[in-house]
Structure 1
């Protein structure tokens, strides 16, 4: 894709033109899948992650600043998405390896209880604090992206994250 074409398509994206997203999807789906496949061997998960890449790309279309090529940007997003998936998988494997194998019903119950307690602890956070935490940990936005999205300073994001982690540590101290 030529540079001026990338700029044209980005301009169309920013104007909420779904046809531009379709064109980008058609020309970049395979390279995005290939980038993910190098890290994640499961074809079904590769397709899910690729769709997530394009969904995030659409959601962030107004903030995107591409300094290289559009295809390179999407490949980088794909790699980041795959790495985030692998980090999540590794976390759950470390938390409860027996739960994933389905070998231990008691461990499954304890895992479900832990997940419920985590969600309840997150719900106890003040609304702004909870939103900052969710954007950071679940949406995997950087502090700068969160600050831009919520129109607050990075320092406020840092303070809210610090507060959230302190509250969560306190609420979940029996599990840590």
Structure 2
């Protein structure tokens, strides 16, 4: 069942609650572990894991698992964790902005804001796997072998995806980079 099980996928897609229960029993701890590595909080990782399984149930008719349920759920967990971290980061940044800033700080803030907008926009243009690899490496500080293990891909694939991400980001942010 940990591999791509067509029967389980069929049962899940046909609104069979026992299929979700089976997925949950087998994969919940792995999803929690993946999320804990991202958010470093046991209770939060459990809450986010529940969100993953809720989303699996809500999108049951659209889901097509081509690898294994474990890899698919791991990918969903990574996305859920990164979405949470982005949300928290936005809140933290807003809390740190001073009410009044001197002109030099205001100018720097505008320039930084412009760069950040372009950076976020450039990140969104990356293919999904490429973006996740980049974020896990640069924002979460994971090594290539750790990313490979978390995503269920080879270290060479991680290396290739990072190269692709850096190339695309360099192209899209060339106006902001020193010459």
Name the CA distance, whole Å, in 2 between partners of 1:2 and 1:36: 19
SS in 2 for 1:62: coil
- Residue in 1 that maps onto 2:24: 25
CA RMSD between the two structures: 1.7
TM-score by length of 1: 0.53
Alignment of 1:42-121 (within 5 A): 42-97=41-96
SS in 2 for 1:96: helix
**Closer/same/farther in 2, CA of residues 3 and 45 from structure 1, 3 Å limit:** closer
Alignment of 1:10-21 (within 5 A): 10-21=9-20
Name the CA distance, whole Å, in 1 between partners of 2:52 and 2:46: 10
Structure 2 residue ranges without an equivalent (≥5):
100-179
**Closer/same/farther in 2, CA of residues 3 and 43 from structure 1, 3 Å limit:** closer
Aligned length: 98
SS in 2 for 1:39: helix
Structure 1 segments of 4+ aligned residues over 6 angstroms from their partners: none
Structure 1 residue ranges without an equivalent (≥5):
99-105, 107-176
